[in-house]
Amino acid sequence: MGVAMMRPPLFASDYRASAARATRELKVKTLLRALVGRLHDALTTGDSALSVAFSGGTAPHILIRDASAEVVGRVTIDDESDLYVFCEFEDGATDVVIATASEDRLLEELVLHLRDGQPASQPVDAAIGMLVGQTIEDVERKLILQTLRHCKGDPTHTAFMLGMPLVTLCKKLSAYLAESASELPQVAAVTGLATGAYRL
The percentage of residues in the chain with a pLDDT greater than 90, rounded to a whole number, is 4
Domain boundaries, the chain: 12-121, 133-191
| CA–CA distance, 79 with 68 (Å, rounded to integer) | 31
Please state which of the ranges 63-67, 149-153, 179-183 shows the lowest mean pLDDT: 179-183
Mean pLDDT across 122-143: 77
CB-based contact 144:175 (threshold 8 Å): no
Q: DSSP string spanning 2-63?
A: PPPP-PPPPPHHHHHHHHHHHHHHHHHHHHHHHHHHHHHHHHSSTT---EEEEE-SSS-EEE
CA 141, CA 110: separation in Å to the nearest integer?
Answer: 30
What was the pLDDT predicted at 6? 56
pLDDT band of 4, cuts 50, 70, 90: low
Q: Residue 70: is its pLDDT beyond 80?
A: yes
Q: Are 74 and 64 in contact (CB under 8 A)?
A: yes
User: What does the pLDDT look like over 35-69, one tens digit per residue?
Assistant: 888 888 777 766 656 888 888 877 899 998 888 88
pLDDT of residue 5: 57
Using CA atoms, how far residue 42 sits from 36, 76, 115, 174, in Å, is: 10, 17, 9, 37
Query: What's the CATH number for 12-121?
Result: 3.90.930
Whether 133-191 and 12-121 are alike in CATH topology: the answer is: no
Mean per-residue pLDDT of the chain: 75
Q: What would the CATH number be for the domain defined by 133-191?
A: 1.10.10
Which pLDDT score is estimated for 171?
92
**Mean pLDDT confidence for 165-190:** 72
Q: Would you place residue 188 in the very low, low, confident or very high pLDDT band (cuts 50, 70, 90)?
A: low
Contact of 86 with 110, CB cutoff 8 Å: yes
Length, in residues, of the chain: 200
At residue 101, does pLDDT exceed 60? yes
45 close to 116: Cβ distance less than 8 angstroms: no
